[in-house]
Chains A and B, each alone.
Chain A
């Protein structure tokens, strides 16, 4: 084609100089046009890219000179702009002209202004800083009496406008909604639409005006307002149900041809309008029978009226079908719609066929039989030469897959997969295949083969969850033990044979999967000796194409296999080879292997066979180092400062601004779950028994939170897969240590510090989980809510005592610390030093409280503590609640502990980075009611995900209860749920029975009373009921929200509900720090940032409704400005904050 242009150009050089066809005012612009013409012609005439570049650069430099010359007239400037636009379009940088484009829009007359605005809209983007300079011009033009100027201003506003400057023009644009000219009204509506898109809360107050626009007598204005409505209804359909009638009426009128003729398009009345309306109706009628009934008629009419004459009627039909299937179903309409789909699918026109398939894909979810009707067409489409059609057909098939057809469909998908090159398609398709394979696999061999194909094609581009899921599936197995075994055996066999293929290349991730499986399950093979597997792995290790991450996986696999192997010459070679590796991570792993290899006994303990699902128990505090730390400190070593603190100090010394969001990013970035092995520092946290899991973690497998979907019968409803897993006691060393400790643990003196410590631990967890919100929220709630944290707690306790009783770090600890990279060891040790210090002070502070709390209970608890040591041998880590008040029967704790382990590890890791743990998480004990036999007291535990109310019923001496029950009366604003397994059945004389209830807010409130009753029966069959009530405040449900200033800004703009409040203060200037402190302490707001006389704070209402506060000091007080996504929250919060500040 460029040839043709070229020829035309050379043949008719004067063409564009003289006669510009159509409305162009050629004569006046001739000299300038010719310059542009010259440029265009020049560019077209050139053959090579290089020449073009030269020419354009030349042009640009001459333009640069012209535009910056002060003598340049605006008219010349306008011409220059046009040429600049052209140059930009060709892909050259013309940024020097941006400022001049703005100037031109500012100063020029109409024509120049128009070009100026055009140039601005093409050059700049929404957040470009120069755009601010345009605001004044826009404001001026909006106030102009010249319609064209107003139009231009509105046009530019609807295209690009800086969000923060919206308030400057908003009133002007609102006025324009009443303008007498419809074109102005229309553009004003669209400008508001744009504002709604970028800052919805700023236009919230004008929703009434949108309604007016919807009723505008001009069709154009009405149509424009539909954009806004479509958007708003998409966000919240329930708020606009009352408009359904209006939309239906409008559509009726449109369909009935009541609109002016010039809105017709190929004799179809206003098709765009129709489609817009149909989409709105579809959204409104979704799952809503009553609303849907209103629209059946008009939908029917639309279907009928749309005579198949032109493409555009197909467009309407398509939308109509879509709407019919979206709204509450009506059989007649569905039938007609199905017929319509038939027309699409059977159409010879390829575009329509495509849409037919698309419609089918949508529809089969409701009615799979429709696909049957078009079987043959679908089959044809599968072999269609157009890949897009094929792709859509596969999408359709994906939706109708079941356990019978899965092999065929996956086969087809794989075929397509092998042909496609584009990464996006591959990633997408691979994900789908893996999903189908997991859901519907007919047998093991097929599953493994399919997954092999997925891994080898998808390889390193696919979603990492796929491989993690797969491994999890293998590791956890399903109900049938032999079935599990077969699957694993098959996997191992197939990988071994794959590895035997010469010169085959596999993606890194596939190799990682292979190495994990081989490491775990090669022992299942009878005919294959571990040495041979090791040899294969070693061969892989030596090849050049292996990334260091994969090497780490491979070495981990070898490490697992080594204890099973009889002879280990290869292992020795490997050690030789890689202890000098330049890659720290690989070298680290090799050293681990080396040390383990020297002590086979430890190794066998450390790496038991087939224990990948076992718990990973972690001593987060590194408490076994306590002794060492104390020693060093007493020798005068400097206390450790954590990394970020050091950095901050360094920065403050350097007097440089700290751009890091405080603390937050540092600790969260390290633990997002999928890093290279070197990135994760589990190391010394692994306490002995399941280092395998530790290795797995180290190798960046993210397994938690993944649902188990695959089963023999296809999709398995999510069930407690964990419960069935075997729970085995930890290996000997740990056990001994624990039992030893337990023997010493019988006395009360030891208990008090432990209590304080577990509290500290809890705070850490609280913070940790607030950091990890959204990372693995599911399992985390689980962790915090159930007795799961118990194991963690207890482990800590035992370790602390270990340190206390002066036991040196055992051989186990040595092996543990050798398990992770040296740099991290150092780092973490340091980290923990501070953590320990902190804890030391916390202990000191809380000691009195702890002992006080314990006093009334100690008598009743001692027997239970005694029992503890008995249990220690069977399940050493699994009982004792954090508060030492409730001891769980080992059996219930054991069942739940397995779920917690991996997460515990993560959280524990995170907690090591947290320093600010001064926040109190628990209220004092209050007696709520009592009578002659029992005393009932309660306290609140401010957990991170809920408020936990703990009631304990203490029986007074001399009386025995047969049973005691607690009833909590339902409350309006929150829901309560009992914590399972939290109470002891025994209620002997003088004992305590504890009830725990989780509370979640449903609606914000300020004060509320929670009441309930306790009933008990005495041995002399005398039933008594006692009523009690507890006051709850909103503050019980407020938790700090740790976000960065940047996130704060983003959230701030996205929240719609705000409340402002002024608090009078005598000395406002000095008040800010203290006010912030008050808010932080009393209301639990997190101080995000303080800038001059302004402070930013954030919190969340449980479970996760964020709320932001901006406070600013002014002449006579403090201005508080709340925003939140929840409408009622700002009000309540404002009340609380005011109370807190005034009370202080």
Chain B
């Protein structure tokens, strides 16, 4: 009980039973007289000893490079080529990784972060570096021709060949999807009559985009890109020449049901309204309404237009065609 009175303020006494004073190394506890009868009992590794050893070790290491880099340094000189991410060289406080409780935990920092090391970084391609490289390459370039605008390019070079290249980590260099070649051609650049165009559209099906009037041919049946490109060009050639051909039976066997669009002139609808003897403009507007209904599809708006036209044609009260 006597010893308890002389305990220094900072010393921790876990329980009344354990009388163990953690004193600073090498010195007796402050306020404690050197009593040869009662030597201090040290159990376990002393925390202060460990900490001091660590600090000494740290002091011998130089500070990390990102603390020593000047603010106006040339980054292109620091990171000249593609390199695995190195935390001490990059002066950015990056964090990456998965945490179970994102509201309570911060993602792991950049030191010893395998995720950051695994991914490709493009620190060697910052805009100033790219600019410098472009300036260096400029002496090998000629100026862009003045009259060669985008519209002119579309006229001169309407064919677009689309290929994809892949970066991937794999035992082989080849990527199976890199062989796929797409060809985009606007139909306006092909010399086609109405029937030629109709035939081509039937052959091509939904490869034609009606909004942009472009057909897209995709070839992937050959193992090499060059072969697929040649095949796609061959396909385009065949399509064009086939659509220009005419079979002898086409003229004979083609019926109204085969027509891709409804044409008013000479149709059964025109013959049906002829006996009514209505005025020409009324019949014309009826013809337009019927054409719209058949070609644009039937919905309430085309039906309403048809109703109005019929009411005018048959001479009925106007309010019947109004709703």
Is this pair of chains taken from one and the same complex? Answer: no
Interface residues of A, Cβ cutoff 8 Å to B: none
Give B residues with C-beta under 8 Å from A: none
